[in-house]
Amino acid sequence: MLPRTLFCFMALIAGAALIAQAEPKDDLKAAVDKLAGSDNYTWTVTVAIANSQFNIDPQTAKTQKDGLITTDFPGFGGGDPTPAVIKGDKQVIKTADGWKLASEILAAPADPNGGGGFDPNTMAANRASTFKTPVATATDALAKADKVEKTDDGFTVTLNEEGAKGLFTFGRGRGGRGGAGGAPAVTNAKGSVKFTVKDGVLTKIESHFTGSVSRGGQDTDLDITNTSEVKDVGSTTLTVPDEAKAKLG
């Protein structure tokens, strides 16, 4: 009788431990779900690359409940921003020749005078193909979390290696020119994500990535922080040009 009682007691302790570990993750998911359930919201994105002169201007994006996203991808070196509209697995980019699907841009031959994979349209198309809302970013982080901890104003998630590599998406697309086929290999990837929650709703995400990339036989250490801040929940309005709508189908 005693061994059975002891077994039940140990099972009870183990079950309680599992529940305790699951609570922060469940609470974070509830905050993410609350944001996902809102009719619309705006967020700003800032990217900081340590020990680099390569600066990226802040980016503003808007989304609504059906998944539609509008944004302007910042230009480089003081260049003009590039408007984009995203819906599901389709992205359209505003070019000098009108709105074009990102897939069209990436499938076209590189312009020998246009900077190759670094021309604004190609860069915007690549970035649009991996661009995520805060809800999608948080959901992905939760799926690849090694550990979720409660903090005073939210949660901290430590990512597994796969999740850490997923944070390094800058300049990488899902395919096409300059896309996933030419993406550098990432090694020693480590990543963590801080989530700020206010009144039960996700309001800020700060993703931190460190690792090394290898391209052309040269290794480069990276230290990147990507911050998304949510605002105007329920009061955001999206405007999509008719030509962009037609391209999205």
Which range among 27-31, 120-124, 155-159 shows the weakest confidence by mean pLDDT? 120-124
- Neighbouring C-beta atoms of residue 232, cutoff 10 Å: 12
Are 61 and 43 spatial neighbours (Cβ–Cβ below 8 Å)? yes
Does the pLDDT at position 196 exceed 50? yes
pLDDT band at 76 (very low <50, low <70, confident <90, very high): low
Percentage with pLDDT > 90 across the chain: 60
Are 18 and 216 spatial neighbours (Cβ–Cβ below 8 Å)? no
Integer angstrom CA distances of residue 118 from 29, 40, 159, 226, 232: 37, 32, 30, 21, 33
Q: Given this model, what pLDDT does residue 80 score?
A: 86
DSSP bridge partners of 71: 61, 84
Q: Given this model, what pLDDT does residue 5 score?
A: 54
Does the pLDDT at position 35 exceed 80? yes
pLDDT digits 0-9 by tens, 197-237: 999 999 999 999 999 888 777 888 989 999 999 999 999 99
Which range among 1-10, 101-110, 123-132, 142-151 shows the weakest confidence by mean pLDDT? 1-10
Higher pLDDT, 76 or 84: 84
- Return the CATH architecture of domain 28-248: Clam (2.50)
Higher pLDDT, 50 or 28: 28
